[in-house]
Amino acid sequence: MISYEKLWKTMKEKGVTQYTLIKTYRISPAQITRLKRNESVSTHTIEVFCKILKCRVEDVMEYIEE
């Protein structure tokens, strides 16, 4: 399973809110919901988050063996 818990921690560390993602970076609320639910998102979406947060993929997601 892919977990996006690291995304929320990285956002907090960088001072980026969900509101900022939606209003400033035009991230769809539906994408944020998918991430909250640990549902699949495209690699493009992961890339966009890495650019916004100036971080690495490992700071956004991790694989957890079920």
Instruction: Give the CATH number of domain 2-63.
Output: 1.10.260.40
Longest dimension (CA), the chain: 36
DSSP-based three-state secondary structure for 44: helix
pLDDT digits (tens, 9 = 90+) for 1-60: 999 999 999 999 999 999 999 999 999 999 999 999 999 999 999 999 999 999 999 999
Best CA proximity match to 27, nearest among 2, 48, 5, 3: 48
pLDDT digits (tens, 9 = 90+) for 8-24: 999 999 999 999 999 99
Q: Are 62 and 7 in contact (CB under 8 A)?
A: no
Dihedral sign, Cα of residue 2, residue 35, residue 30, residue 44: negative
In the block, residue with structure tokens 């539906």? 30
* Domain layout of the chain by residue ranges: 2-63
pTM score, whole prediction? 0.89
